[in-house]
Amino acid sequence: MPHDLAVHSSAAAGVSAGAAAVPRVDFLGLDCDELGAHMTSWGQPAYRGRQVFRWLYQGRADGFGAMTNLPKSLRAELATRAEIVMPRLVTRAASQRDSTVKYLFQFADGERAETVLMHDGDRATLCVSSQVGCNQGCTFCATAQMGLARNLTSGEMVGQLLEVEREIGAGRVSNIVFMGMGEPLANYKHLLRALDVLTSPDGVGAPARRITVSTSGLVPAIDRYARDGVKTGLALSLNATTDDVRDRLIPSNARYKIRGVLDACHAWAEATGGRLTVEYVLLRGVNDSLEDGRRLARLLDPIPCKVNLIPFNPIPGATFARPEAARVAAFQKVLYDARCVATVRKTKGSDVAAACGQLQADYSSADRAASP
Ligand code: SF4
């Protein structure tokens, strides 16, 4: 199957002046079958696709010259027909308080998205963006203020990992979470292709259980995720215990009410054996009452899951506030008393604005005009 977003407008090397420019195929993010299909269409055996696939994700090759088990003539031909387009690092901000690092990447068309690397003991978790901006409109989220520019391709998603690991060492990221900019399940086709590349033994080889995809609760896409048998972790951004409050926080709740979203997640977990996490951003005076805690425990009672409580990380212009630490602890205790497993997420990188979407929002407003 040809990769519909993989062709860039750059002319093939070696094309003489005046000849029609032949677009080169971007190989980054293509799965093994797609690479094999390109190879056969160019008169090569399909197994060459698997060789290139291994070079891209295991060998971390950034050019065809490095692919030394391909014939020299094929390497030269590939350089005229294909390319490997990596995201370009624009800025990198390291936290002074913890080891969080925030990266801003630019893609071939100039669009930008952020990636965050967080360390916790031996664990290095990479938070990957799936879209440039987001159109889900969650009212507590900085990314929502940008709107949606476009979906990221599978190559642009996988490229965030490859570029970060170029800096810290291949295989150093232990966990991958699709919790950066964007609603991953609204970019379903490219997300699944990226997951295929990430989990394939010939690709990055990341265990599916070390990958988590976060959603604001798009029920048809969750149902599809179940039907497709995707066994990554799934994190539901719930954030409310009544539909009235969730309607105010997450506009898609107008279509997909709390009970229906939870039932869809439960069905996915049963169908795949995957691990469900319920994310709950605590907003002072909005969703952090002890009655909310009791309602949350009742809502989740039939569903095997873990709750991740996230005290709100303030964003510029936000109308929400972070609850006091004592309120967070009391909320957690209500869940604990109801035998509901709940952890409180440590605030990582708040000095580098590592809440959702902030670096990009800052960059857009302050620096973009000065950038080449
Ligand atoms: S919280 Fe997630 S889904 Fe909602 S607007 Fe922000 S990025 Fe989009």
Mean pLDDT for 123-149 is 93
Is 360's pLDDT higher than 80? no
Report how far residue 50's alpha carbon sits from residue 42's, in angstroms, rounded to the nearest whole number: 15
User: In the chain, how many H helices and how many E strands?
Assistant: 11, 15
Report how far residue 217's alpha carbon sits from residue 235's, in angstroms, rounded to the nearest whole number: 9
The response to whether residue 134 sits with its C-beta less than 6 Å from ligand 1 reads yes
Bridge partner list, 276 = 234
Mean pLDDT for 221-233 is 96
Is 8's pLDDT higher than 70? no
Mean pLDDT for 262-285 is 96
Nearest CA, atom 4, ligand 1: 138
Q: Is 250 exposed, middle or buried (CB count within 10 Å of its CB: 0-12, 13-18, 19+)?
A: buried
168-216 pLDDT per residue, tens: 999 999 999 999 999 999 999 999 999 999 999 999 999 999 999 999 9
71-95 pLDDT per residue, tens: 999 999 999 999 999 999 999 999 8
Mean pLDDT of all residues belonging to the chain? 89
Q: Mind giving me the DSSP string for 245-275?
A: HHHHH-GGGGTS-HHHHHHHHHHHHHHH-PP
Is 288's pLDDT higher than 50? yes
The response to whether residue 238 sits with its C-beta less than 6 Å from ligand 1 reads no
Q: Is 163 a catalytic residue?
A: no
The response to whether residue 144 sits with its C-beta less than 6 Å from ligand 1 reads yes
**Atom number of ligand 1 nearest to Cα 214:** 2
Q: Is 356 a catalytic residue?
A: yes
Half-sphere exposure of 269 (CA within 13 A, CB side): 20
User: Against a cut of 0.95, is the pTM above it?
Assistant: no
240-252 pLDDT per residue, tens: 999 999 999 999 9
Q: What is the pLDDT of residue 345?
A: 83
Instruction: Go through the domains of the chain in sequence order and give each one's CATH number.
Output: 7-12+20-83 (1.10.150.530), 88-358 (3.20.20.70)
Is 233's pLDDT higher than 90? yes
